[in-house]
Amino acid sequence: MTTLPPYAELLGLTTERSETGELIWAMPFREEVIGRPGFLHGGAIAGLLEFAALGTLYDAIGRESGVTVKPINVTVDFMRGGIDHPTYAAATITRLGSRVANVEAHAWQKNRAKPIAAAHMNLLLRR
């Protein structure tokens, strides 16, 4: 993967591929991502979800394709507080058109079946 933006570096984000080839983003629990004591900051969770969504989209269209991506709409649903554990996120492209893409991302900690947050993004693709 290419060099990550400064905000991703601040969050301590890393990526890996699952056995099925899915791109998984990981964020360690550390001082830079703490909101209230012992819990993740909502902005750190939202940032992780955004990187997972955009990373998955760029992975699908190819970074070298010349396509620029701009958010049209982003909705984040916080389901439970993120605690003192690593946090993971992955995204699914629900629609990839010629001008618009829709992507869903989910973040979890100990159990993927119990997400702590989800994001829905509508993105403009400029080719």
Average pLDDT over the chain reads 95
User: Is the pLDDT at 109 greater than 60, yes or no?
Assistant: yes
Q: What is the CA radius of gyration of the chain?
A: 14
Tell me what pLDDT residue 63 has: 74
pLDDT, tens only, 74-105 = 999 999 999 999 999 999 999 999 999 999 99
Burial 67-97 (b: 16+ CB within 10 A, else e): eebeeeeeebeeeeebeeeebbbbbebeeee
Domain of 98, CATH number, reads 3.10.129.10
pTM across the whole model: 0.94
Tell me which residue range forms the domain holding 48.
Answer: 6-126
Residue 44 domain-assigned? yes
Residue 21 domain-assigned? yes
CA atoms within 13 A on the CB side of 57: 30
Going by pLDDT thresholds of 50, 70 and 90, the confidence category of residue 2 is low
pLDDT, tens only, 12-68 = 999 999 999 999 999 999 999 999 999 999 999 999 999 999 999 999 998 778 899
Residue predicted with more confidence, 1 or 11: 11
Q: Which two tokens stand for residue 47?
A: 């940032």
Residue 1 domain-assigned? no
Residue 62 domain-assigned? yes
Counted domains in the chain: 1
Tell me what pLDDT residue 3 has: 78
Going by pLDDT thresholds of 50, 70 and 90, the confidence category of residue 114 is very high
50 φ/ψ angles, rounded to the nearest 5 degrees: -65, -45
If you count them, how many residues does the chain have? 127
